[in-house]
């Protein structure tokens, strides 16, 4: 039986209604059946699971605007480390999907503590960031979001790299449909999407991230081999090594089965390298 552990973190806050304070795991299991029909069970019990998917997590710290970057890294690194150590004894062949923020740094924590190969430790970010960009494109063009496709690379933060050149509406590149100033505004809003939600809700997003991670879990459990943007550990891909970054990957029964490399312009590559630099700065704070 395939066991996938989703680390659902930073998605709790006192301002969220009591029922929602249990975190994203219940909202994932309540998604419509046409989105995903599989057995899942939220838990903070770390024994051997009796269902293929267990949604695990502790009382992780919600992101707040007055947090210094190091604060959230230190707090959530301790929580993720504790959960990983409790999960692995009962499920040594588990695949770990990290949702905790700062996402790329928490992926690294899970990888270091677990000692698992990079294929089995990855994170949810790009699907959420791309979904936000898709919505902004659909809004700007007054079309269905289902007709849009968006491409976002890099770390999950304000150095992410949205790529209008690879984003389309009905198969047509958005660079042919929108002027540069509007595209620049959409790129900025995509980067600031998480902060926009915090400003509106006074807490981090929780439903949209849960829907995004459901798509990842579905691709793993059903061995769909979908190409999805995920935080993956690079070892030479895109000319970078020893860093987690959002890149397109093939997700199947073995986890990350392939990292898909796309051609980048000099400007895009420089932006991706800058994003990697920001992720590495967070790595330096880690004490695991």
DSSP 171: T
Please compute Rg for the chain using Cα positions. 18
Q: How far is CA 204 from CA 126, 181, 184, 228, in A?
A: 16, 28, 24, 23
Reply yes or no on whether 156 is catalytic: yes
| Catalytic pick among 111, 132, 156, 250 | 156
* Calpha distance 240→8 (Å, rounded): 28
Q: Is 35 in a helix, a strand, or coil?
A: coil
For 264, residues 6+ apart whose C-beta sits below 8 A from its C-beta are: 238, 272
What is the distance, to the nearest Å, from the Cα of residue 164 to the centroid of all Cα atoms in its chain?
A: 20
For 20, residues 6+ apart whose C-beta sits below 8 A from its C-beta are: 27, 206
223 backbone φψ class: left, alpha, beta (φ>0; ψ -120 to 50):
left
Catalytic residues: 156
């Amino acid at each position: 039986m395939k066991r996938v552990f989703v680390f659902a973190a930073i998605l709790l806050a006192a301002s969220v209604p009591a029922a929602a304070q249990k975190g994203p795991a219940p909202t994932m299991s309540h998604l419509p059946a046409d989105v995903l029909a599989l057995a899942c069970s939220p838990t903070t019990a770390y024994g051997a699971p009796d269902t293929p998917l267990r949604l695990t997590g502790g009382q992780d710290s919600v992101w707040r605007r007055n947090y210094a970057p190091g604060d959230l890294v230190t707090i959530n690194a301790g929580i993720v480390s504790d959960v990983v150590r409790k999960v692995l004894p009962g499920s040594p062949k588990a695949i770990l999907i990290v949702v905790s923020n700062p996402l790329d740094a928490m992926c690294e924590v899970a990888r270091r503590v677990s000692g698992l190969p990079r294929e089995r430790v990855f994170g949810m970010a790009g699907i959420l960031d791309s979904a936000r960009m898709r919505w902004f494109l659909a809004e700007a063009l007054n079309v269905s979001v289902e007709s849009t496709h968006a491409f976002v690379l890099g770390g999950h933060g304000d150095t992410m790299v949205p790529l209008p050149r690879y984003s389309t509406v009905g198969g047509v590149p958005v660079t042919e449909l929108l002027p540069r100033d509007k595209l620049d505004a959409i790129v900025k809003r995509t980067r600031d999407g998480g902060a926009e939600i915090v400003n509106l809700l006074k807490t981090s997003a929780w439903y949209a991230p849960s829907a995004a991670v459901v798509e990842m879990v579905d691709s793993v459990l059903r061995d769909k081999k979908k190409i999805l943007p995920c935080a993956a550990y690079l070892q030479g891909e895109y000319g970078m090594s020893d860093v987690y970054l959002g890149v397109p990957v093939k997700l199947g029964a073995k986890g990350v089965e392939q990292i898909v490399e796309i051609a980048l312009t000099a400007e895009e590559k420089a932006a991706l390298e800058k994003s990697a630099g920001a992720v590495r700065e967070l790595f330096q704070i880690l004490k695991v």
